[in-house]
Amino acid sequence: MPGEPVEIEVPQGASISVSAGEVSEEGGKILWRAPDSPGLEDMTITHNGQQVHLNLFVLTPFRNGVEDALNGYRIGKYAQPLRNMSSYAVPRGFIDLTAMSEDLRVSPNFKLGQFRCKQQPGHEPTYLLLRPEMLVKLEIILEAANERGWEADTFFVMSGYRTPFYNAAIGNTTTSSRHLYGDAADIYIDQDRDGQMDDLDGNGRIEKADAYALVALIDDLAAKKDPRWVPGGGSAYGANAAHGPFVHVDTRGYKARW
């Protein structure tokens, strides 16, 4: 959020340069205080001759229940947190996608445009919610998929973020979908770019069994208890007239299967 501090983990002796905001050390922690204006900033961390580049999004504040839209872009209203869980806390702000490239990297193998909400095409500005823990989880799954022999340079994200307004507009009655909180993605592997799931089980057919194969991989990864892994939902969906098989994955904080 504008003007607020964020803790950054860096190796001892690393140097940091940032396009805006202030970097300081307090109590042995490195803090970056965001600038007062929403937008995109970049940070470079250098250590032992190696560099890591970070894209930092300063969010546009949103007042749930007071505002229904941001600059004409319909957001809707978030429900009170489900069972008072922090993972369902009302978002305080959103990424303003104005003038941002669809190809901007948000992680090594995923781009900003893959997660954009599908409502109001062509409207400017457009807003997005995207949680880092979801990106980490997708990267872990992607790496494991390639190790299993399923070649993929990324996942096709069929649905990423949804505003409460859009979620209701497409007929969903739930107010607690993880798509609303920026940490859910409906995905499939489409390395041959034919618009549908690849044949993961090798039987020569594209069917729900391929989605089940990807869910089985996700369950295998969950069992390893990687400290970076946030538990969440996972479910296989079959094809219909609008799409082929796909898998839902999220980081709600507890395991859910349906």
With cut-offs at 50, 70 and 90, classify the pLDDT of residue 197.
very high
Q: In this structure, are 26 and 71 located in the same domain?
A: no
Q: Is the model more confident about 13 or about 202? A: 202
User: Same domain for 101 and 66?
Assistant: yes
138 and 236: one domain? yes
Give yes or no: residues 133 and 24 share one domain.
Answer: no
Looking at the fold, whether 33 and 130 belong to one and the same domain comes out as no
Same domain, 141 and 225: yes
28 compared with 38, residue with greater pLDDT:
38
Average pLDDT across the chain, whole number: 96
On whether both 137 and 80 belong to a single domain, the answer is yes
Q: Are residues 71 and 179 in the same domain?
A: yes
Domain extent, residue 28, equals 1-57
Counting the structural domains of the chain, the total is 2
Are 45 and 135 found together in one domain?
Answer: no
196 and 116, same domain (yes or no): yes
3-state secondary structure the chain: CCCCEEEECCCCCCEEEECCCEEEEECCEEEEECCCCCEEEEEEEEECCEEEEEEEEECEECCECCECEECCEECCCCCCCHHHCHHHCCCCEEEECCCCCCCCEEECCEEHHHHCCCCCCCCCCCEECCCHHHHHHHHHHHHHHHHCCCCCCCCEEEECCCCHHHHHHCCCCCCCCHHHHCCEEEEECCCCCCCCCCCCCCCCCCCHHHHHHHHHHHHHHHHCCCCCCCCCEEEEECCCCCCCCEEEEECCCCCEEC
- Interval 57-76 mean pLDDT: 96
- Kindly report the CA angle at 168 between 165 and 172, in degrees rounded to 5? 150
Regarding whether 222 and 100 lie in a shared domain, the answer is: yes
Is the pLDDT assigned to residue 12 strictly greater than 90?
no
What CA–CA distance (Å, rounded) separates 11 from 7? 13
pLDDT (tens digit per residue) in 99-158: 899 999 999 999 999 999 999 988 999 999 999 999 999 999 999 999 999 999 999 999
Average confidence (pLDDT) over 213-219: 98
Question: Does pLDDT of 27 surpass 80?
Answer: no
User: Whole-prediction pTM value?
Assistant: 0.95
Distance separating alpha carbons of residues 116 and 182, to the nearest angstrom: 10
Write down the pLDDT at residue 25. 86
The average pLDDT across 43-66 equals 96
Q: Tell me what pLDDT residue 122 has.
A: 87
Torsion angles phi and psi, residue 173, rounded to 5? -95, -15
pLDDT at 72: 95
User: What number is the average pLDDT over the span 243-257?
Assistant: 98
- Give the side-chain half-sphere CA count within 13 A for 195: 2
